[in-house]
Structure 1
Amino acid sequence: MSFYEIGLLGCVFLYSFIPILEHKSLPSDFPFFNEGLFHYPFYIFEVSAISISAFINMSLDLLALGIIYIAAIQLSILNKKLQDIDKNIKRRSQSCNDVENLTLIYLNNCCQHYVDIEKYIYLTTELLSIHIFANIGGYVIALFNSALQLMELTPFSLQALGIFTYAVMVLFQSAAYCWFGNEVYIESMEINNSCYNSEWYNHGQDVRRTMLILTERAKKPFEIKGCRYVVLSFDTLIANANHRNVNIITYEQGTNVLNGISLPLKMM
């Protein structure tokens, strides 16, 4: 996340000091404080507000991403436990009977681990549902607005650089959510493969039956959703990018049509 932190610092720096470099009054224009006694105190207030709000937003994002990634890590641990069943059991067993009994106990613990992960993901979805939905929706709107502003600005200007940096950070935020949610999905899909790749065929009916129950239970992969609608995955990220591109193209076509209509009217 060092890229996120560095990018956020750069974004805050540009938004705070572009007014000085371009000889403007304040980062956010307030007519009553552009000049006079309160100009500099209000400038410091605005810079502080921008910095504090940006770092609060970053902290909330990192907290949410950490909560989501715990689920992916636990699923990865469970996959490793299922793949290494025989290695872990052989260290503890003394006879063939011990192997069967210990394997059955070991698998029951894995099943309980799966149930705990399932409950954790359910509680995570309930906790972050509105947060995820609002963030993903806000990211789409912010990226669309940033793209429109960049089309109106002079290329390579400081203001264009600031908006471009902001757009990159917004894109990184949405990609991080979708990436971590996709990790949960992929790791949950791997449980069936982990069960199949273990040496289940060397054990008795009880072990095979328990393995089959876990395999059937894990056929439906876990998904992190926002308001039961927005799924955190790479498909969602690509769909949002395509939707944004379509909106920009539609806006450009509409602008060109209006310009084409207004030109003859002016000539008349």
Structure 2
Amino acid sequence: MRLLRSIFTILALCGCSRPPSWTSPIKKCLYTVYTSFVLIMVHSLVISQILDIAFNVDNQDDFSENFYLTLGVFISCCKLCTLLLHRDNYATMVQTLQKEPFSPTNTDEFEILARFEKWAEWNTIVYTILLESCVTWMIATSFFTDYKRHRLPYRAWVPYNYSSSFLFTITYTHQTISIAICAVLNIACDSLFSGLLIHTYCQFEILRHRFKHILENENLSAKHCAHHHDHIYKFATMVNKEFETIVLLQFLVSMSILCFDLYRFLQTEQRTKLMEMILYAICTLMQILYYCWYGNEVRVKSLEIPDMIIDSNWVSLDNNARKIFLMIMKRALVPIEFSSVHLVPVDLNSFKVILKTSYSAFSMLQQRS
């Protein structure tokens, strides 16, 4: 079974992971060109938005209108660079899940793995529908309003006069395509992180199954369980190391986006813009909720190891096997915790803190306006 297949398909779509079948030099060259195209589109958009803040913005309303969208594009650029720089590491982690001691050894374990792989796939589908619905709404409403009025959908500074129909169409198309690419990048990065967390959770369920099926005087099986448990912790550390920086950036950006989105929501009266801001806020909340929810689930599951051992047939085992189980239980007292650069834990408490901080920042911004 190839794990996280749908996620790696999305990674290939956004230029971050060349399909395994593309082995010929021509296809490799074409994919490199495509990756370069994605890099240019996304980075040119965020640079034009930053330059708009530097050269054109002169009041708080213009700043808030630009800034909350610029942050969304900026985090997409960061995710793109992270995915490109560490794509070999991500492939290695998925391959690790298909080797000992993680690989299933019998039919029951294969069924457990298949169930969680399906969970990861549906998680990706739902997340894709949510983000793409938001982007589709933004592009569609912009086409029927901004395009007809000869106005760009997003504030940006461009080094030429786009008053002519041809140049305006080119600039407008650049912005819409870039925003669509940014959405796909967010889907790819967030789904990959949540997918790896789901499979970390899956390994605890496989370990539970192995605990229950240890026979009498099978010290080798008990040692294998201890080996498996230790490797789950190491794998979780590997995942946290690869994503800790992007998680911290996502938390900071999400707090700022929610703050400015609330501010603009109270200042705007257009219904289409209100709907756009609501969808944008929902997507922002879902991004950090995905991180915090699955990080919290893995943490809680890692604390259930003593209960898993108690539910097994440990009474019938010899002293050596029981000692091994005691070592596992002692290790399980320290749960698996994902964190953003060792500063903010990735759990539901952090999600609550982000919401409270965003609202506090919004209140201060509202008082100064």
User: Normalized against structure 1, the TM-score is what?
Assistant: 0.83
Residue 254 of structure 1, CA deviation: 4.5
Partner AA of 1:251 in structure 2: L
User: What does the per-residue CA deviation read over 1:5-51, in whole Å, with 9 as the maximum and x for residues that have no partner?
Assistant: 22222221232233333344121245822443312222222211111
**Which residue number corresponds to residue 220 of structure 2?**
105
Alignment check: 8 A CA contact 2:289 2:351 kept: yes
Deviates more, 1:191-200 or 1:170-179: 191-200
Partner AA of 2:139 in structure 1: S
Residue 196 of structure 1, CA deviation: 2.1
Q: Say if 2:138 is the partner of 1:15.
A: yes
**Which residue number corresponds to residue 171 of structure 2?**
42
Q: Say if 2:292 is the partner of 1:178.
A: yes
Deviates more, 1:235-244 or 1:30-39: 30-39
Q: Say if 2:265 is the partner of 1:139.
A: no
Partner AA of 2:138 in structure 1: Y
Partner AA of 2:170 in structure 1: P
User: What does the per-residue CA deviation read over 1:34-89, in whole Å, with 9 as the maximum and x for residues that have no partner?
Assistant: 4433122222222111111211221121112222222111122212322x135xx3
Aligned pair partner of 2:154 in 28, 33, 47: 28
Partner AA of 2:336 in structure 1: F
User: What does the per-residue CA deviation read over 1:118-158, in whole Å, with 9 as the maximum and x for residues that have no partner?
Assistant: 11111111111111111121111111111111111116x10
Aligned pair partner of 1:210 in 294, 317, 324: 324
Residues 54-203 of structure 1 aligned to structure 2 (within 5 Å): 54-82=183-211, 84-86=212-214, 89=215, 99-100=216-217, 102=218, 104-154=219-269, 157-203=271-317
| Structure 1 SS opposite 2:166 | coil
**Which residue number corresponds to residue 96 of structure 1?**
none
Which has the higher Rg, Structure 1 or Structure 2?
1
Alignment check: 8 A CA contact 1:18 1:27 kept: no
Partner AA of 1:136 in structure 2: F
Alignment check: 8 A CA contact 2:303 2:335 kept: yes
Q: Distance in 2 between matches of 1:39 and 1:204?
A: 78
Alignment check: 8 A CA contact 1:191 1:218 kept: yes
Q: Distance in 2 between matches of 1:137 and 1:249?
A: 17
Q: Distance in 1 between matches of 2:356 and 2:129?
A: 28
Q: Distance in 2 between matches of 1:48 and 1:173?
A: 21
Residue 164 of structure 1, CA deviation: 0.9
Deviates more, 1:47-56 or 1:196-205: 196-205
Alignment check: 8 A CA contact 2:244 2:340 kept: yes
Backbone CA RMSD of aligned residues: 1.9
User: Normalized against structure 2, the TM-score is what?
Assistant: 0.61
**Which residue number corresponds to residue 240 of structure 1?**
354
| Structure 1 SS opposite 2:335 | coil
Q: Say if 2:338 is the partner of 1:224.
A: yes
Q: Distance in 2 between matches of 1:37 and 1:21?
A: 18
Change (3 A) 1:42 1:176: same
Residue 190 of structure 1, CA deviation: 0.5
| Structure 2 SS opposite 1:26 | coil
Partner AA of 1:28 in structure 2: Y
Q: Which runs of 5+ in 2 are unaligned?
A: 1-122
Residues 249-264 of structure 1 aligned to structure 2 (within 5 Å): 249-255=363-369
